[in-house]
Amino acid sequence: MQAVVDEVFRALSDPTRRAIFEHLAREGEQSVRALTDRAGVSQPTVSKHLGVLKQARLVRDRPEGRQTYYRADRDGLAPLIDWMKHYAAFWAEHIDRLERLLEKME
Amino acid sequence: MTPPADGTERSQAESLSFDWDLPHPPEKVWRALTDPALLAEWLLPVAGLELEPGAAFSFEAPAQPGWDGVVKCRVLEVEEPRRLRYAWVVGDMELDTVVAFTLTPVASGTRLSLVHSGFRPDQKRNLGGARYGWTMMGGRLAEVLAGIS
């Protein structure tokens, strides 16, 4: 679990990669060429970023003819959401304590 | 407070929000949120808290492997007894978030809203945040999660 979270964080820690992921999440499937035109960096760079996102299971690819198409896999964010649940649990526990404290206060 | 200006859209998985109805007046809840002795009882021991926008303070939990236990904070907004917002930063390379409490008077007492935002992974914060999340909750996680279903 920890390794998966690290991988998602590593993949999303780069602003260009994050922009590619968010673009795919918003716009749906895109070809590498379309992503390259938009990203303002070279195609090998875009492909490398897509490779990292794919490794982290944040995107899925589909080859068609000479092009490869990518789409965001929202389930890939699950480790991040799980991680945030730690904080949800943290606050739930501490607000319980706050409620008990308020009972004792004047 | 301006969001980080890196041009990307904020992701959906970025903030936590909660509401609780507390059978106590806002003034009393406000005291619990701002009095260091009371904060130590329900949240964490606090050092240097001054309710002035821009003032830095810290929460200091016992040190644990992988985390020195310190949460660095900075007051962003104070509107007694309605709203308190502060930065919640864990280490230089870890978590840079904001905690906002809003107290709304209701017939039964106070509705306490808490929004903890800014959970976006960012440059420099790649690995530490996850490690910290796991460390902070320790072994009680499963139990606590079960409790809130």
What residues contact residue B114 under an 8 Å CB cut-off, 6+ apart? A91, A95, B16, B17, B18, B19, B20, B99, B100, B101, B102
Alpha-helix residue ranges (DSSP H) falling in A32-105: 32-39, 43-55, 78-104
B81 cis-preceded (ω within 30 degrees of 0): yes
> According to the model, what pLDDT value does residue B122 have?
53
Has the ipTM of the complex gone over 0.85?
no
Contacts of residue A95 in chain B, CB cutoff 8 Å? 18, 20, 42, 112, 114
- Assigned CATH for B16-43+77-144: 3.30.530.20
How distant is the Cα of A65 from the closest Cα of chain B, in angstroms? 31
Which residue in A has a C-alpha nearest to residue B144's C-alpha? A89
What is the topology classification, in CATH, of domain A1-104?
Arc Repressor Mutant, subunit A (1.10.10)
Closest to A42 (Cα-Cα) out of A62, A13, A16, A79: A16
Mean pLDDT, range A58-67, rounded to an integer: 94
Tens digit of each residue's pLDDT (9 = 90 or more) over B11-59: 445 778 889 999 999 999 999 999 999 999 999 999 999 999 999 999 9
**Would you state the pLDDT for residue B64?**
67
Verify whether the Cβ–Cβ distance B119 to A86 is below 8 Å. no
Mean pLDDT, chain A, rounded, equals 87
Q: What is the mean pLDDT of chain B?
A: 76
Q: Which residue in the set A13, A22, A99 is minimally distant from B9, CB to CB?
A: A22
| Cβ <8 Å between A99 and B120 | no
Domain locations in chain A?
1-104
Contacts of A77 in chain B (CB under 8 A): 11-13
Q: What is the pTM of this model?
A: 0.68
Q: Which residues of A touch B134 (CB under 8 A)?
A: 2, 86
Question: What are the residue boundaries of the structural domains of chain B, listed by start?
Answer: 16-43+77-144
- Assess B85–A contact: CB distance below 8 Å, yes or no: no
Q: In this predicted structure, what is the pLDDT of residue A92? A: 87
